[in-house]
């Protein structure tokens, strides 16, 4: 991929993160599609911002309850938070 594409993608992700954080700080509601939430959550995971990541996951699950990918990301947060038993329980529930 070209550097230009990567820069444009990074700008897009940062814009999504700013929009999400504004929504949280304003205590307002804004819709994000599932792909946008994936990018926001991955941004927080990459920057080790687990509290914000958790908030994004919770909001994503509220807006897209049928999406399994957010539960998988939740399991990753549990692992990074030293809660492997919770991660395993969640993944077992997903499997069922």
Q: Over the stretch 28-85, which tens digit does the pLDDT of each residue have?
A: 989 999 999 999 999 999 999 999 999 999 999 999 999 999 999 999 999 999 999 9
Decide: 40 and 52 in contact? Cβ < 8 Å: no
Q: What is the pLDDT of residues 27-43, one digit of tens each?
A: 998 999 999 999 999 99
User: How many residues make up the chain in this entry?
Assistant: 96
User: For 85, what's the count of Cα atoms within 13 Å in the CB-facing half-sphere?
Assistant: 0
């Amino acid at each position: 991929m070209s550097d230009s594409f990567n820069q444009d993608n990074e700008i897009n992700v940062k814009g999504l993160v700013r929009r999400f954080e504004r929504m949280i700080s304003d205590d307002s509601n804004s819709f994000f599609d599932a792909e946008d939430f994936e990018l926001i959550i991955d941004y927080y995971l990459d920057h080790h911002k687990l509290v914000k990541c958790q908030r994004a996951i919770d909001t994503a699950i509220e807006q897209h309850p049928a999406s399994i990918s957010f539960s998988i990301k939740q399991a990753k947060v549990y692992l990074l938070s030293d809660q492997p038993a919770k991660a395993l329980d969640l993944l077992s529930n997903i499997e069922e």
